[in-house]
Amino acid sequence: MEPITDLCIVEDARNAPSGFTVIELTGDTGQDADLWKDKGFFGKKETRYLCFSRKFSLDCVESLSVTTTSTPDVLTVSLTRDTAQKAFRKRNLCYTVVGRDILNCRVVTEIGVFSKLQDGFLVAGELNNLVIGYKTVLMNAGASKPDPKVNLFEKVYTIKTSTVTTTKCVRSWIDDVPFRLSPVFQPITRLTPMNLKTASQIYCQYNYDFSIERDVLQASPELPDGLIDDI
């Protein structure tokens, strides 16, 4: 299962951002998974729903927590993604991320909202008497420790030369990316032909002798001395 890479809160479950999955019902009882403590006795009822995304990103969600304060070393979901309203009244939904290329790290692969703690889930905290739980898996397990002298985005290959000595050839990860024309431009089979012109043809086409301007100036009275000669 792909790791979760982003989280957000929406006020309306129908307004989940593109690429996000909204948790509308609790995973154990199937009741409304609204995380906002509002009974709606007066006016419109406010709601909050948790959303998550698995879109590819260099960072993956590492852990979640519901806290009363937030610290600079964590990411805080402070506003709703769809209406930019305050996500929660007195608590904060916080999470940490870890780089996808980090070895032997744990990342979040499942998130759920439950009426009570579920086996196999870690507890992030409670909101509106509902438990937010998540599962993690070990990513990049058993990988060898990288050479600190080699960039994490490079691959090192060992090759043999004609003298049977071994040498290291460092290739960048971008070397394996195919470079080809975007499918958007595939219908274009050829460019419009260009008609090249000689210098004399360009001169004849764009040369202008200002003869009309000279006639107008000569017919105008009280011209400054030398004005016609300057044209």
Q: What is the torsion angle, in degrees rounded to the nearest 10, for the CA atoms of residue 122, residue 127, residue 129 and residue 132?
A: -20
Whether residue 218 lies inside any domain: the answer is no
Is 109 a residue whose pLDDT tops 80?
Answer: yes
CB atoms within 10 A of CB 201: 11
* φ, ψ for residue 116, nearest 5 deg: -150, 165
Residue 80 is part of which domain span?
6-139
Q: What is the pTM of this model?
A: 0.61
Whether residue 120 lies inside any domain: the answer is yes
CB atoms within 10 A of CB 175: 9
Looking at the structure of the chain, the number of domains it has is 1
Whether residue 173 lies inside any domain: the answer is no
Q: What is the pLDDT of residue 154?
A: 47
Q: What is the pLDDT of residue 152?
A: 45
Whether residue 170 lies inside any domain: the answer is no
Q: What is the pLDDT of residues 123-169, one digit of tens each?
A: 999 999 999 999 999 998 765 555 555 454 444 444 444 444 444 45
The share of the chain scoring above pLDDT 70, in percent, equals 71
Whether residue 215 lies inside any domain: the answer is no
Whether residue 76 lies inside any domain: the answer is yes
- Looking up residue 22, the CATH number of its domain turns out to be 2.100.10.50
Whether residue 220 lies inside any domain: the answer is no
Whether residue 26 lies inside any domain: the answer is yes
- SS3 at position 185: helix
Q: What is the pLDDT of residues 30-39, one digit of tens each?
A: 999 999 976 6
